[in-house]
Amino acid sequence: MVISGRLEGAMDIVRKVAHVNISVLITGESGTGKEVIARALHWHSDRRSRAFVPFNCTAVPRDLIESHLFGYRRGAFTGADKDSPGLVRAARDGTLFLDEIGDLGLDVQPKLLRFLESGEIHPLGEPMPLSVDVRVVAATNANLNELIRHGRFREDLFYRLNVIVIPLPPLRERRDEIPGLLAHFIGKASEEFGKGHVQFGADVLEHVLLYEWPGNIRQLYNEVRRMVALADADTTLHADALSPCIRHAPPERVLSTDADHVTVSLRAKLPSTIEAVEREMIKAALTSHDGRVEDTARALGISRKGLYLKRQRLGL
């Protein structure tokens, strides 16, 4: 995976807290790379030699989540014809990644809270609780504060999870990462499909940079795999290889969903367009943070040195 732009900030947090036994909550839209960050936390931790167990809380019916997580003894209920350790015990001494934690049912939330606080689980049919050493990393694409207001998520569980928060912005707010991601994904897909050295033309990059990417990195990755799978070996991809929804995007796109936005034309030259967008974003960030360089760089998702170099290049 390419680590650049605002993802570098997320990785800085990962490296700082990977060895610390503290709750981490990763937030962001679907497809932004939350599991990538969770795996990085595991890999940089002392638990990397043990299991990393991912579980999507929407993957099984709600009435089965408790047994999936905490396990059960044979005969605990109808159909329990053998013991099941559950995912928590499967991740013993390792990391359990709970994706889409906002969809966890209210009946299971107190049991998860107890485990997070005491390290104990009580599998169905077991006479006594069991202690299990597992690091839990949670992720969500939902607004947990909103769920709390609607009585769908426990406030005490939220505060137990919401210690270290790693927010992952959508790809449309991380456009500086797209060229690197595109090159990485094309190289990876070319090797996987035996297509030699497939490249992309400037017209592909123009469309890809200004598309909204509602499915984020996952959508970009799958789009690249589709293009490379259909391409001839050792060829250069052009805009006609893109999906119609990307290729036929309107001639002008709004780059930000905020009230202050920049509008550019898909017919403009790429270098001058990127430079203009960078200049306006930096100027706006400097204004909104009263010229404070550290705060401006943090808001833009770049380093202080990176901001300094960009200002020099752009004459700001």
In order along the chain (316 residues), what is the average pLDDT of each group of 10 residues? 66 93 93 93 96 94 88 75 87 96 94 94 84 95 94 96 92 84 94 95 88 92 96 94 86 48 63 76 82 84 83 76
pLDDT at 266: 61
Pick the CATH number of 6-169 from 3.40.50.1480, 3.40.50.300, 3.40.190.10, 3.40.50.1970: 3.40.50.300
**Whole-angstrom distance, CA of residue 54 vs CA of residue 58:** 12
3-state secondary structure of 272: helix
**Quick one: CA torsion of 164, 165, 166, 168, rounded to 10 degrees?**
180
pLDDT for 258 equals: 52
**DSSP-assigned letter for residue 232:** P
Total Cβ atoms within 10 A of residue 129: 14
The length of the chain in residues reads 316
**How are beta strands 236-237 and 199-200 bridged, if at all?**
parallel
Question: Residues 17-21: contacts with CB within 8 Å, 24+ apart?
Answer: 17/41, 17/164, 18/43, 18/44, 18/45, 19/44, 19/45, 19/46, 21/135
- CATH number for the region 172-314 comes to 1.10.8.60
pLDDT of amino acid 238: 94
pLDDT digits (tens, 9 = 90+) for 265-312: 666 667 767 777 888 788 888 888 878 888 888 888 888 888 888 887
Alpha carbon distances (Å) from 300 to 128, 282, 296, 314: 51, 8, 6, 15
Give the pLDDT of residue 8: 77
The tally of CA atoms less than 13 A away on the side-chain side of residue 305 is: 0
Q: How far apart are CA 316 and CA 302, in angstroms?
A: 16
Asked if 293 and 304 touch (Cβ cutoff 8 Å), the reply is: yes
Contact 1, 33 (CB under 8 A): yes
Are 301 and 174 a contacting pair, CB within 8 Å?
yes
Give the model's pLDDT for residue 166: 94
Quote the CA–CA distance of 206 and 107 in Å, as a whole number.
Answer: 49
Nearest to 5, CA basis, from 293, 307, 218: 307
Nearest Cα to Cα of residue 249 among 218, 287, 281, 223: 223
Distance, first Cα to last Cα, the chain: 32
Strand 95-99 with 263-265, pairing: unpaired
Equal fold, 6-169 vs 172-314? no
Distance, CA of 210 to CA of 203 (rounded, Å): 11
Q: What is the pLDDT of residue 61?
A: 87
Q: What is the pTM of this model?
A: 0.74
Amino acid at 279: R
Domain locations along the chain: 6-169, 172-314
Is residue 155 within 8 A of residue 51, CB to CB? The reply is: no
Q: What is the pLDDT of residue 189?
A: 96
